[in-house]
Structure 1
Amino acid sequence: MTKYILRRIVIAIPVLLAIIFFTFLLIRAVPGGPFDFSGSKSTPESIRRALEQRYGLDLPFLLNFPFDTIAPDHDIPRRVIYPALADCDALRRGVPLEQARPATNVVDEYEGWQLFRIVTERRETTITLGGRQVRCLQASQVLYSDLFLSQFFGYLNNVLRFDFGLSVGRTTLGQPVNNLIADRLPVSVRLGLLAVFIGFAVGVPLGVLAALYRNSPIDYGVTFFAGTIAAIPTLVLGPILIIVLIVQWKILPPVDPRVWKLPNILDWNFISVAILPVSVLGIGISAGLARLTRASVLQVLRDDYIRTARAKGLRERTVIYIHALKNALIPVATIVGPLLAGVLTGSLIIERLFAIPGLGDVFVTSIAARDYTMLLGVTILYSVFLILGNILVDVIYTWLDPRIRFD
């Protein structure tokens, strides 16, 4: 099993690279850019060019060929890299902040296009100094090729170092995407895990009951429930419940984004605010699980080994919960990977409806703002969760059916 998991992780690397490449192409294919507008007015040309140069959007798209008239190939004697920020290595050595900060902007001499050369790469980062966060420039000597001095390979270089770059959105301009994701991911994970728990706790038992009492009022009731919930979009169900339970009847308190930052999920303030969005998302999950579980259990109950177990005189409870249910859960386990990946990276509609400060909310905002780095960061995170979720499904398979082996 260990060898299989390692093999799957290795195979996933080129898949991730392909996802990054095609997502990068698709996002940039959308008309417009992050700096085209400032509020309701067009951004002046000089300011737009300065912002594009600051965030590397003036570079060639994929490859940087000589004499393509795209910066930095043409005559630029000096090229600004970053504003006057302190040197990270100097700060770590104990040099005072004022002495470690240069008097002017940090610039590099540009000597023209070269296929290979050694350059001093400066990367803006954040370090902890005296208990507080300080922005500084981290310098390192690297082998460089101007052929790959482009937007795509610059971003890929950052991703390989687990750095998703700086946000180019209007409201989050210049903030590290890593920090934005780290701030919002726990909220989406909390919402997603609670919803998945409710989905399985409600959907699987209902599906089993519907299969055991086939063509009975219980079966009809579960089928009606699952079909109705599946037919009502979350975009419709959410506002209806908000109007009825919060606005009209005032059973639940108004939505409050601050509650999702509370550390204790057993806090009544958190429970009273979270119960509605978690229930809406969880019940939606349970509807699909109930139908899938019912169909799977009905199929398993027709198998020969179930007839054999009953012929041996085993109790019906033993036949159902020991022999039938584990095999019936194999199709259900198949959707665990995509389901977890989807809910852990944020439910777009739920987070927007209930003002939840999660990844789904910032993802929608980033689309309108053309925040390329944030969109790519969330997409990569979703892909990683999806790959890990599918590996988890394979591990669950071996527990549900010992005949399945991957080594």
Structure 2
Amino acid sequence: MSRNRGSTATLRDDSPESCVKRRTCEWPDSRNPKSGSQLAAVIASALQCESNFLPWLRSALSNSAISAYQLDRLIARRGPHDLRILVSSDKQNRSPSCFHIEEATGDSSCFPLGAWQLAYRDPQHEQLLALDAALGDVGKNEIEKIFGNGVTESVLLSYAPARRAVIHYSLSDGTRAFGKLYRPGASSHAYELARQLSETSLADSFVTPIAHLEHLELIIWKEVKGDLLSDLFGTEAYDPGLNATGKVLRQLHQQTFDQPATVVTLEDELGVTGKHISRLEGLFSEEDLDDLRHLQRGLEKPCASLTPPTERWIHGDFHDRQLIIRDGSPVILDLDGVNAGDPAIDIGNFLAHIDFRLAFELSDQSPRRHHDVFRQGYRVAEDDRRVQIAHAISLLRNAVLYLLIPERHRRLSEACRKIVDQF
């Protein structure tokens, strides 16, 4: 399906009549930004001019109630860059809106300052065609049938264009539920796996699926009250949470995968990292990319030397923002990536996220203490070769992904140096 870029408006003309399909913004910079960092600076400068940008935003989103906005994240890509802005209005606070940014097309003489085109990615025109229904009366009616209470509010918490969305529903009795919207055809698999986990002895350690609205590609999840493990970082509760997380993850990995599946291997993970490196082409010099490719190739032989992994359940994207600590016990969230795979993938990814969390916090602490606490919970040795390789792959993959986020560039080099110093 081709992407409909929706309706945009001109930054230098605030009148509603100026809105036509696919309009452009003349960014206040005569240079053509060659890197994501430069582009981020250009965008930040444009967004600071509220008297121009706020009317543009109201027009582009057809919402005159928008009262404020905040830059959330810029993702630099080879093609159109992705920009996410948190929008506040009288009725809804901090709702994410997504845009494409690319060089303006047409007669270059029309853009004397070096123009960049900003186009609203209207969710109704993306592959998540049910988003409007899930947020509107259709979704509310379905939720009311499930819970027997009226829906007083539905709020879009997060939106990844063409991939997924998370919606928060407030009910009239004061309870809350969360809905996750998937691409066409993806919700059934996610729901079936979550349902299977809810029937195991580990049911209390996973977010519980309440209902599957297949026609909307929407799964309704029970609210989990507690604190994200990542939010406990720097407190006395963080290490006990790490230890308990290790124990729960080990229990997950001891479950047998009772349906035919292709086992996800460390070689697969390394291949995905290679694809992420390819996404950086055109954003960074070939010399820089060659360094990343060299690191990737250096991990190929160690991966190939490993024996085939045991077919076990794995989470697939395991880190401390995927866990809520409820009364001292971890509850695992985001079961989309659950599959049969190598347990070392989850362990290595969790350790790598601890490394980056400490590094980006500019902490002088060594991550080893946190590693040890988690390993003790899981009961995995520090010299486990499989986990060491998985850890290295995850460090490389996460560093590559952070390169797609310009605001992280300034601290990424220092973060990586601090991580390397630990080895």
Q: Which has the higher strand share?
A: 2
Asked whether the two chains share a fold, i.e. TM above 0.5, the reply is: no
Q: Name the TM tier (shorter chain).
A: under 0.3
TM-score, structure 1 normalization: 0.23
Higher relative contact order (CA 8 A, sep 6+): 1
Give the TM-score, by structure 2 length.
0.23
